[in-house]
Chains A and B, each alone.
Chain A
Amino acid sequence: MGQLISQIVLGLVSGALLVLLALGLNLIFGLLEFINFSHGALYMVGAYVASYLAVATGSLWPALLVVPVVMALLGAGLERTIIRPMYGRDQVDALLLTFGLTYVLIEGVRMIAGSGGRRVSTPELLRFQVDLGIVRLPAYLLFVVVVVGLVVAGLHLFLRRTDVGLIVRAGIRDHVMIRALGVPFDRYRTLVFALGVAVAGIAGVLTGPITGVYPEMGADILILAFVVVVVGGMGSFWGAVVAGLLIGVVVSLTTLYASVYAGIVPFVLMILVMTFRPRGLLGAT
């Protein structure tokens, strides 16, 4: 029983990280109308920046604040320089561009930091176990779930309760109309891309102490994040949250009971969803 519960919590943790990536992908897809293939690579860059910061400052805490800012600036820079020329061109071109960017980022990191991974130590404050009665869990895992919860809540409030969020949501609905109303739409595109990348960066910071950082860490999680987006429904905020946690837990439980199938399960789930409910669990028609 204890094993089952700890496995479910592990699944929720990996699912929560997937949620952060999927939400960024979803938001960028909604407003900028392309899938950011480099999202996984940017998550990896964020994790690396955090690992160096953690060594330099001796703690992960500064990274948790600095990395989102750095990643937002990086994202804004990328959007302004190489992604902007893609607007108005075929949707496919932006996808291909970010695909090429992935190569550059991964190889760049490999050149600077080497192919081997780096370990990131858990903040001292969180190096204890929490006793939940049936099972004892590392406090850091619970911390990750809390941070992800806060980020998701923050994003939700930003989109629902602020004027900027209102314009972003309106732009997702109909950007032609938004532009006709005189909104400087380009700025909002930069903002949303930067925001998505910053959230991916936070996911990178949080992952460090769990699995360490390595150049290919973005590739696998990106594919899973795609699966989450598709299963949850493209463009659906809560769809991504539900599907991310669901896939995290399902994969985690499969690892416990039938580890051979753990890699296959998310894709089978996605194929089932695409066959019987192509718009995703919570997607709009």
Chain B
Amino acid sequence: MTHLTTPSATDGTPTAGEAAVTVARLSGAAPARWTWGQLGLLVVLAVVVLFTVPNPSLAIGMLIYGLWAAGLNLLVGYGGLVSFGHALPFAWGGYAAGLTLLHVSSSAWLALLVAVVSMAVLSALVGAVCLRRTEVYFSMLTLAFAQLGFFIALQWDDLTGGDDGLAGIPVPTLWLPGTTVELNALRDPLTFFVVTAVLVLVVFAGLILYTESPMGRVLQAIRESEERARGCGYSTRLVQLATFVVAGAVAGLAGGLFAMLNNFVGLQPYWLLSGVVLIMVILGGRSSLFGPFLGAVVYLLLESTLSRYFASWQLIVGAIFVICVLAFPQGLWGLLTQTLPGLFRKRRRTR
């Protein structure tokens, strides 16, 4: 079989990157005007969360979950690859950061670096297997890998603490030019919040860059039609694998931050969250990177308020999710940016 290559970039013909951009734009992916505006929205959201959410650990959690969900949306929304096992990189990041802090050094940078790099390597291996077939196969394989990870974490209790979890993770210290700060979420939540917010914003900007890059465009083109993208000469698996690695690394970072927030990593919160993070993505909207942040904030607000009054609050969340998929497949973000402005436009026209 001959290997198809991209049309050569001679004068006049569009380059591979430009062609991919056109394909993605035509397919109606993220509206262009909201690309970098999302970064501003995230700053606003972080400030609002800081001043309105009374529980600091919930406020910091919103940022961390939001980042995790935004990373997952690279796969779900931009790649059309629904991962049911995104708890795996989150938990791995948590264990990696926690173990580094416990046994190596109390440097926050080192712990996060270990979490991100090791998860990127692991993601490359897991992705190589999961992406052998896409669509449903991919979903089920990611689920299976997460389950596999769960059993390993449960059984290897010398290292992970098994069922009891990894407790007593020391408070990390963060080296900054000229100073070092302690990241103690209990004693000084504001510092923790600001550091997390800055990290999250930087990574979020990186994610936007990724989706806007020619590679990100190819990813969206693959979602629309893998056959055509392959016909254009892109090695589609490689692009998907790279995205899988990026999403895994982001989740690893989020997991590491979450471990620092709670000074604890365990089976209980960590391994059960594959579904939760997916709900956040769909609830918030998968057509943008900011949507999942909205989803994370709304989900955690729902959880913290509903669970106070109603034991089966997940029933409501599940029902909202089903309605969301049925009626608002673009989630809250789609509702805010497309449905509502559409209503206003119609009203003006009828006037």
Contacts and interface: CB of A to CB of B under 8 A. Distances in A.
B143 interface: yes
B145 interface: yes
Interface residues of B, number: 39
A107 B314 contact: yes
A275 B321 CA distance: 34
A103 B314 contact: yes
Contact of A264 (B133, B136, B152, B318): B152
Interface stretch (A54-62, A94-102, A121-129): A94-102
Contact of B151 (A85, A230, A264, A275): A264
A86 to B, nearest CB: 8
State the majority secondary structure of interface residues on A: helix
Of the listed residues A95, A108, A234, the one surrounded by the most CB atoms of chain B closer than 10 A to its CB is A95
B322 A101 contact: yes
A236 B275 CA distance: 28
A89 interface: yes
B325 A234 contact: no
A35 B129 contact: no
B195 to A, nearest CB: 34
B137 A91 contact: no
B329 A93 contact: yes
B322 A108 contact: no
A146 interface: no
Nearest to B81: A92
A34 B140 CA distance: 12
B176 interface: no
Contact of B147 (A97, A107, A223): A223
Contact of A100 (B139, B152, B322): B322
A103 B321 contact: yes
B318 A92 contact: no
Interface in B101-150: 129, 132-133, 135-137, 139-141, 143-145, 147-148
B132 A227 contact: no
B280 to A, nearest CB: 13
Contact of B140 (A89, A226, A263): A226
Contacts of A100: 279, 318-319, 321-322, 324-325
B144 A226 contact: yes
Top 6 A-B pairs, shortest CB-CB distance:
A103-B318, A107-B315, A263-B151, A100-B321, A100-B322, A267-B148
